[in-house]
Structure 1
Amino acid sequence: MSEQLALFDRHTNEFLDALALIPDSKRKISVDGEWSAAFIVHHTADVEVHFAARYLLLLGADNPPLIFFDENLYPDRLDYAGRTLSKSLAAIVGIRTMMSETLGKLQSADWDRTMTHGDGKTATLSRLVEKADGHIVSHTEQLKSLAALL
């Protein structure tokens, strides 16, 4: 699991590095109908909250339900256009560093703890972290692509 956590930390830093490619003055600009850097950051912050809640619920309860969310509703309902980028960015850094520390203290067996989907399928903590970490990687690439267009 140490390799998975090293990747988790590296991907946090790579996300921050990709955002740094976009000047503050251009972070609210969208290109070709795609999300702006600010929207990407707000979205990532909101989703990291969900992921962290899943990890904590899974660690604090035996086989809890895996609750899904509709991220497509968030930009309007959570007012991405009016939110402060620095606060969302602080949330990402805070949540991911807190979870890295928490996950780093787990025993091997904890990584095999499960949550259950509504369809009865289970997901281990290891798989949830891997999938969630892939989410920030995809948005890192999205930021890099946006930076190249701005």
Structure 2
Amino acid sequence: MNPEARAALLMSFATGPRRLAAALEAVPAAALDFSPGPGKWSIRSIVLHLAESEIHAYVRARTIIAEPGNPVQAYDQDAWAASLDEGSQPVEEALDLFRLLREMIARQLRALPEAAWTQCMRHPQRGDVTLEQWLSIYDGHLATHLGQIDRTLKAFQACS
């Protein structure tokens, strides 16, 4: 990826918290815990997952930057979601956590030298992942879940 394309991807990554907050503004409180079907996540579940995933994303990026070539731990997102008492978790706190972690890592990424983008971590399921690939994965991860939030909201509205 050339530096201009990477800068555009980094901008998309950095604006993720704003895009997530904007998506949530359209969600009425009554829709937060609506599940569109058995085994499907509610909007609250999606936002909590994004916050937890961002914790892993931050640690993974920092591993690539500070300890290139080292392994990272995989995690079972469904087990994490199932073990959380979602009803007691405020969406606003999850959004704040997501925003803070994104802001911290985006600031660090902007300051990196060109050579850092080819450094990698060793993921147990994906193999070697460069920092550039990491950025693409996590920017895409949010986009996937923004679409999921939109679909869940539409399903809620269809049932209301």
Q: CA separation of 1:18/1:128 partners in 2, compared to 1, >3 Å: closer, same or farther?
A: same
In 2, Cα distance between equivalents of 1:148 and 1:73: 26
Note if 1:21 corresponds to 2:17: no
Instruction: Look up the match of 1:46.
Output: 52
In 1, Cα distance between equivalents of 2:58 and 2:72: 12
Partner of residue 86 from structure 1, selected from 85, 92, 110: 92
Q: CA separation of 1:144/1:119 partners in 2, compared to 1, >3 Å: closer, same or farther?
A: closer
Q: Tell me if the contact between 2:65 and 2:119 (Cα under 8 Å) persists in the aligned partners.
A: yes
User: Structure 1 residue runs of 4+, over 4 Å off?
Assistant: none
| Displacement of 1:113 | 0.7
| Displacement of 1:98 | 1.3
Q: Point out the more displaced range, 134-143 or 81-90.
A: 81-90
| Displacement of 1:120 | 9.1
In 2, Cα distance between equivalents of 1:84 and 1:15: 15
Structure 1 gaps, min length 5:
none
Q: Point out the more displaced range, 112-121 or 74-83.
A: 112-121
Q: Determine what percentage of the aligned residue pairs are the same residue.
A: 23
Superposition CA RMSD, Å: 1.8
| Displacement of 1:60 | 1.1
Residue correspondence of structure 1 range 1-150 to structure 2 within 5 A:
1-33=6-38, 34-118=40-124, 121-150=127-156
Tell me the secondary structure at the aligned position of residue 33 of structure 2.
coil
| Displacement of 1:140 | 0.3
Structure 2 gaps, min length 5:
1-5
Q: Tell me if the contact between 2:72 and 2:124 (Cα under 8 Å) persists in the aligned partners.
A: yes
Q: CA separation of 1:119/1:43 partners in 2, compared to 1, >3 Å: closer, same or farther?
A: closer
| Displacement of 1:111 | 0.9
Q: Give the structure-1-normalised TM-score.
A: 0.90
Q: CA separation of 1:119/1:14 partners in 2, compared to 1, >3 Å: closer, same or farther?
A: closer
In 1, Cα distance between equivalents of 2:126 and 2:134: 16
In 2, Cα distance between equivalents of 1:92 and 1:115: 22
How many residues align? The count is 150
Q: Tell me if the contact between 2:10 and 2:135 (Cα under 8 Å) persists in the aligned partners.
A: no
Tell me the secondary structure at the aligned position of residue 54 of structure 1.
helix
